[in-house]
């Protein structure tokens, strides 16, 4: 029994990321072949058969430093019929005053002020009430939407009536520090590949809340954005799919985003993602108890495996550390040396291959992106441990949070070095 345990744990810690890396790579490449091969280039959207009107929602909380730039980019969106709705979620800075000033400047901008800070989910709900059109695009209050993103979103909705939501392609703007450059590769190698593979499979774990699009009807069927969760985007994604709609990735719908460039900011962000993701999969599990949701179950199981992997890997590292202390003989768990050898080296090579494949796919959006491969050395050495730590801490916090209702309010995140 002990021997079996001692062979299964290292096998799982190696096998899970190794096997999934090949799955994501194949999914990414197949998505390019099946979906992207005959597609127009990202900067050259074709003429659509119709241009249904679109409402763009921008929830803002203390975004005084960013909103002018955000709405200037939105006003330059190349789409014939759209409105912009700025939602000021009880900001304590000058966001409200700037939005009013911008409303006078941009004819198609309307502003909804929330009397008190309610959080992103309720801000989006309020924005959706004010929105006049069926198709909603949502971006964050510090993100710049590409001028063709709306056209790409609408084109995809017109091509598939079963689509309830689309997730766009967030591209990182701030690349001044090591952490910023590292995340450029991560968004491509991990986020982009996973979303491509999940689109082929027909079930997506999450839309990127920073750039996504919805049919109002799908939002209504999913129960609108809920303040009871930390990650409104994961929660909404699952509820829309449970309601019977599909969700897909539209890589040509670009949005330029700001990411944390300090370790503390990155830690808080990843912890929130981990906690929110776990909260959603635990909360919604009972609603998935129907065989028509079998695809969701597989995505759910994969998420649980990733959390289990985090625990198994960190426990092995801890066991290795304890081996050098008087507590060593008391530890009955396989120890994993941080000095990667053998299987660990193979995992590193596999990750670097995965990063190369994804960056190659993303060269259509940024010609110079292959350069960031240099910074990817940190991913297997450091980022895996950071991700695993946030998963390990996020799970118990999410379980505790199930008994405590969320207030839904938010704090301004780290937005990098500017």
- Helix, strand, or coil (residue 114): strand
Q: Does 68 bind other proteins (CB under 8 A)?
A: no
Phi, psi (rounded to 5 degrees) for 80: -70, -25
72 vs 399 by CB, closer to other proteins = 72
CB of 329 to other proteins, least distance (A): 28
The binder of other proteins chosen from 65, 68, 75, 200 (CB under 8 A): 200
Work out which of 75, 93, 318, 413 binds other proteins, going by CB under 8 A: 93
Nearest CB to other proteins, comparing residues 33 and 304: 33
Q: Which of residues 338-367 bind other proteins (CB under 8 A)?
A: 339-341, 344-345, 348-349, 366
Q: How far is the CB of 277 from other proteins (least distance, A)?
A: 22
Contact 70, 141 (CB under 8 A): yes
Nearer to other proteins, 217 or 290 (CB): 217
Min CB(327)–other proteins separation in Å? 28
Q: What is the rounded distance in angstroms from the CA atom of residue 258 to the CA atom of residue 65?
A: 13
Q: Is 174 one of the binding residues for other proteins (CB under 8 A)?
A: yes
Which residues 201-240 are close enough to bind other proteins by CB under 8 A?
201-202, 215-217, 219-220, 224, 227
Spatial separation of the C-alpha atoms in residues 90 and 240, rounded to whole Å:
28
The residue from 68, 75, 147, 356 that contacts other proteins (CB under 8 A) is: 147
Which residue lies nearer to other proteins by CB, 31 or 270? 31
- Count of CB atoms within 10 A of residue 327's CB? 11
In the complex, minimum distance from the CB of residue 292 to other proteins, in angstroms, rounded to a whole number: 16
The least CB distance from residue 256 to other proteins, in Å, is: 5
| Options 12-20, 309-317, 319-327, 395-403: segment touching other proteins (CB under 8 A) | 12-20
Report helix, strand or coil for 71: helix
Using CB under 8 A as the binding rule, whether residue 370 contacts other proteins is answered as: no
**Closest by alpha carbon to 273, among 318, 298, 310, 242?**
310
* Structure token pair of residue 362: 């993303």
Residue 31, sorted as left (phi over 0), alpha (psi -120 to 50) or beta, turns out to be alpha
Binding mask 23-62 for other proteins (x = CB under 8 A): x--xx--xx-xxx--x---xxxxxx-x-------------
| 274 vs 358 by CB, closer to other proteins | 358
Q: Does 283 bind other proteins (CB under 8 A)?
A: no
* 256 binds other proteins, rule: CB under 8 A: yes
Residue 112 binds to other proteins (criterion: CB under 8 A): yes
Closer residue to other proteins, CB minimum distance, 10 or 389: 10
Residues 239 and 243: their CA atoms lie apart, in Å, by 6
- Is position 129 an interface residue for other proteins (rule: CB under 8 A)? yes
- Contact between residue 203 and residue 295 where contact means Cβ atoms under 8 Å apart: yes
Cα distances (angstroms) measured from residue 395 to each of 70, 72, 377, 392 = 34, 40, 28, 6
Shortest Cβ 326–other proteins spacing (Å):
30
Query: Is 260 among the residues that bind other proteins (CB under 8 A)?
Result: no
Binding to other proteins by residue 97, rule CB under 8 A?
yes
Stretch in the footprint of other proteins (CB under 8 A) among 87-95, 280-288, 323-331, 355-363? 87-95
Among the listed residues 258, 164, 286, 148, the one whose alpha carbon sits nearest the alpha carbon of residue 213: 164
- Contacting residue, 111, 312, 355, 395, with other proteins by CB under 8 A: 111
Smallest separation (angstroms) from other proteins to the CB of 281? 21
Stretch that binds other proteins, among 109-117, 186-194, 231-239, 263-271 (CB under 8 A): 109-117
Q: Which burial class, exposed, middle or buried, applies to 48 when counting CB atoms under 10 A from its CB (0-12, 13-18, 19+)?
A: middle
Q: Which helix (H) or strand (E) holds 138?
A: strand 135-139
- How far apart (Å, rounded) are the C-alpha atoms in residues 83 and 92? 26
Task: Please check whether residue 177 is in contact with residue 417, taking contact to mean a CB–CB distance below 8 angstroms.
Answer: yes
Cβ 101 vs Cβ 73: under 8 Å: no
Radius of gyration of the chain (CA): 22
- 45 Cβ partners below 8 Å, 6+ apart? 148, 151, 152, 155, 252
CB of 83 to other proteins, least distance (A): 10
For β-strands 135-139 and 211-215, DSSP reports them as: antiparallel
């Amino acid at each position: 029994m002990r021997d079996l345990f001692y062979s299964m744990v290292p096998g799982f810690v190696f096998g899970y990321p190794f096997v999934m890396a090949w799955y994501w790579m194949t999914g990414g490449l197949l998505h390019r072949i099946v979906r992207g091969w005959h597609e127009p280039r990202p900067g050259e959207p074709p003429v659509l058969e119709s241009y249904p009107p679109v409402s763009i929602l921008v929830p803002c909380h203390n975004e005084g430093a960013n909103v002018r730039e955000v709405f200037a980019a939105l006003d330059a969106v190349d789409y014939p019929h759209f409105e912009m709705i700025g939602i000021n979620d009880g900001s304590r800075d000058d966001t409200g005053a700037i939005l009013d000033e911008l409303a006078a400047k941009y004819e198609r901008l309307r502003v909804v002020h929330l009397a008190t800070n309610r959080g992103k989910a309720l801000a989006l709900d309020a924005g959706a009430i004010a929105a006049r059109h069926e198709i909603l695009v949502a971006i964050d209050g510090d993100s710049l939407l590409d001028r063709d993103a709306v056209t790409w979103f609408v084109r995809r909705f017109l091509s598939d009536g079963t689509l309830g939501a689309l997730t766009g392609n967030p591209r990182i703007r701030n690349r001044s520090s090591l952490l910023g450059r590292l995340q450029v590769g991560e968004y491509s190698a991990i986020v982009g590949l996973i979303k491509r593979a999940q689109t082929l499979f027909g079930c997506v774990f999450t839309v990127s809340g920073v750039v996504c699009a919805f049919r109002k009807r799908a939002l209504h069927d999913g129960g609108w954005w809920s303040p009871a969760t930390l990650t409104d985007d994961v929660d909404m994604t699952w509820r829309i799919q449970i309601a019977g709609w599909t969700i897909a990735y539209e890589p040509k719908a670009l949005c330029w985003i700001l990411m944390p460039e300090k370790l503390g900011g990155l830690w808080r962000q990843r912890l929130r993602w981990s906690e929110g993701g776990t909260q959603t999969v635990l909360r919604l599990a009972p609603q998935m108890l129907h065989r028509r949701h079998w695809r969701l179950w597989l995505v759910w199981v994969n998420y649980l495996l990733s959390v289990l992997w985090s625990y198994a890997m960190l426990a092995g590292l801890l066991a290795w550390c304890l081996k050098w202390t008087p507590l060593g003989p008391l530890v009955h768990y396989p120890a994993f040396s941080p000095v990667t050898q053998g299987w660990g080296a193979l995992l590193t090579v596999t990750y670097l291959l995965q990063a190369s494949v994804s960056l190659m796919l993303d060269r259509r959006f940024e010609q110079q992106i292959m350069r960031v491969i240099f910074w990817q050395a940190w991913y297997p050495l450091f980022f895996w441990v950071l991700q695993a730590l946030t998963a390990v801490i996020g799970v118990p916090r999410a379980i505790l949070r199930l008994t405590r209702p969320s207030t839904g309010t938010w704090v301004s995140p780290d937005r990098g070095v500017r």
